[in-house]
Amino acid sequence: MLRLVLRRIAWSVPLVFAVSVLTFVLLAVTPGDPTRAILGEEAPPEAYVQLRDRLGLNDPIYVRYWDWLRDAIHGDLGSSLFTAQPVTSAIATRIPVTIALVLGAMLLSTMIGVGLGVLAAIRGGVSGRVIDVLSLAGTAIPNYWLALVLVAVFAVRWPIFPATGYTTFAQSPTEWLRSLVLPIIVLAVGGFALLAKQTRDAMLDALSRDYVMTLRANAVSERSIIFKHVLRNASIPVVTVLGLKFAQLLSGTVIVESVFVLPGLGGLAVDATQRHDVAIVQGVALCFTFLVVGANLLVDLAYGWLDPKARVG
């Protein structure tokens, strides 16, 4: 078990490193002049020179990267080129929103996906086709469009939920929930397909095993067989999908937070991109990478807990 965790951590370090190098290199090879993008075209020439100096753009790239890395390890990811707010604080205030969104969507899509998968495995026949159709629809419908349709129906036509905006939990728990319902639904819809398919396949496989027949021979009830034994066994391959799911959902927050105007990391990244605020976008990219790594670590731990055979090595 420990080896599993250590292996995962060892694999993650070069990944985070690679992402940081990648984003930094992209910054360095910009063809245009970032100072022009920031200051516009009308500023006096000295302003551009001063900005280039301040941003360290005249140093060789490896010096710049080392400076950045040294700062980053100390928790300083630079500041926004526009608001001068430290990147880390901008991220910190927004992480809770994104996490709430992703966890909520994870929960919803797992419930729907696993539920559909179990149903299809037990009933078979038509429900299998239904899953295929729903899954296809789920992946084909653009999430930005679905968001708008839900807003049109549930926020404009029948004002049940707010169309945009976010209330913190501290201000009002019910409002907080209401502001998250539509975004979570949009995020979850795109993702239950894979889970449903994996669950169904895993359950059908488990149902065909010898121990299921032995359980029946020993008079264990069908209900117990399916929900205690088969589901538990089937959850092992399904759990490995959850890490991938998390990364997908995180990607989805970019659009969902933009449409619903939620103050999360995704919305921050889009705003910063439009303003060429590279430091912020880079910070968010690193943050995303950390989150994905963390999620995969948790998935590995869950896998080890669920599968006794995995604990040995």
Partner 1 sequence: MTEVLVSVAPAEPVAAEPGFIRRLLRRPLAVASLTFLNLAVLSAVFAPVLAPYSPTELDLSNVLSGPTWAHPFGTDDLGRDVLSRIMYGGRVTLVGAAIGVTVAFAVGVSAGLVAGYVDGWFDNAVNRVADMALAIPHIIILLVVLSVFGRNEKIAMVTFGLLVSPTAMRIIRGSTLAVRHELFVDAARVSGLTTRQIIVRHIVPRVSGAVIVLVSLISASAVLVETGLGFLGLGVPPPTPSWGELVAVASTQVHTQPWLLVPSGLLVAVSVLSFGLLGDAARDASTEGWQARTPQGRGPRRRAVVESAEAAVAERAEAEIQVPTGSLLSVRDLIVEFATPAGPVRVVDGVSFDVRRGDALALVGESGCGKSITARALIGLLPPGGYVAGGSCLFGGRDTVRLEAHALRKIRGSEIALVSQNAIACLDPVFTVRSQLGELVRIHEPRISRVAETARVRELLEMVHLPDPGAVARRYPHELSGGMAQRVAIAAALAGRPQLLIADEPTTALDVTLQAEILDLLCELQERTGMAILMISHDWGVVADLCRHAIVMYAGQVLEAADIEAIFEQPLHPYTAGLLLSNPQLGRPRQRLSAIPGAIPPPGRWPHGCRFHPRCSYATLECQLGPIPLLEHEQSRVARCIHSDQLRAKVSV
Under the binding rule (CB under 8 A), the answer on residue 6 touching partner 1 is: no
Q: Which of 77, 90, 254, 256 binds partner 1 (CB under 8 A)?
A: 254
Pairwise CA distance, residues 96 & 218, whole Å: 49
Under the binding rule (CB under 8 A), the answer on residue 123 touching partner 1 is: no
Smallest separation, CB 191 to partner 1 (Å): 13
Spatial CA neighbour of 166 closest among 178, 156, 179, 185: 179
User: Which tokens belong to 211?
Assistant: 């121990």
Q: Which stretch binds partner 1 (CB under 8 A): 1-9, 72-80, 83-91, 286-294?
A: 286-294
Q: How many residues make contact with partner 1 (CB under 8 A)? A: 80
DSSP 8-state code for residue 141: S
Q: Which of 106, 258, 260, 299 binds partner 1 (CB under 8 A)?
A: 258
Q: Which of 23, 80, 179, 199 binds partner 1 (CB under 8 A)?
A: 23
User: Which tokens belong to 244?
Assistant: 């991938």
Under the binding rule (CB under 8 A), the answer on residue 165 touching partner 1 is: no
Under the binding rule (CB under 8 A), the answer on residue 309 touching partner 1 is: yes
Smallest separation, CB 131 to partner 1 (Å): 14
Backbone angles phi, psi at 119, to 5 degrees: -60, -45
- Cβ neighbours around 82 below 10 Å, total: 14
User: Which tokens belong to 155?
Assistant: 């926020």
Question: Which residues lie below 8 Å from residue 184, measured CB to CB, with a gap of 6+?
Answer: 101, 104, 105, 108
Q: Which is nearer to partner 1, 34 or 86 (CB)?
A: 34
Q: Which of 55, 197, 233, 242 binds partner 1 (CB under 8 A)?
A: 233
Q: Which of 101, 120, 296, 300 binds partner 1 (CB under 8 A)?
A: 296
Q: Which of 163, 185, 194, 202 binds partner 1 (CB under 8 A)?
A: 163
Under the binding rule (CB under 8 A), the answer on residue 31 touching partner 1 is: yes
Task: Evaluate whether 127 touches 120 at the Cβ level (below 8 Å).
Answer: yes
Under the binding rule (CB under 8 A), the answer on residue 313 touching partner 1 is: no
Q: Which is nearer to partner 1, 169 or 211 (CB)?
A: 211
3-class DSSP state for residue 86?
strand
Q: 98-117 mask for partner 1 (x: CB under 8 A)?
A: --------------------
Under the binding rule (CB under 8 A), the answer on residue 282 touching partner 1 is: yes
Contacting partner 1 within 172-231 (CB under 8 A): 209-211, 213-222, 224, 229
Pairwise CA distance, residues 236 & 214, whole Å: 21
3-class DSSP state for residue 305?
helix
Under the binding rule (CB under 8 A), the answer on residue 127 touching partner 1 is: no
Q: Which stretch binds partner 1 (CB under 8 A): 43-51, 55-63, 68-76, 152-160?
A: 152-160
Spatial CA neighbour of 269 closest among 249, 292, 250: 250
Under the binding rule (CB under 8 A), the answer on residue 136 touching partner 1 is: yes
Smallest separation, CB 31 to partner 1 (Å): 7
Question: Which residues lie below 8 Å from residue 9, measured CB to CB, with a gap of 6+?
Answer: 297
Residue 13's Cβ-count burial label (10 Å; 0-12, 13-18, 19+) is: exposed
Q: Which of 77, 114, 120, 269 binds partner 1 (CB under 8 A)?
A: 269
Under the binding rule (CB under 8 A), the answer on residue 83 touching partner 1 is: no
Smallest separation, CB 154 to partner 1 (Å): 12
DSSP states of 256-284 as a string? HHHHHT--SHHHHHHHHHHTT-HHHHHHH
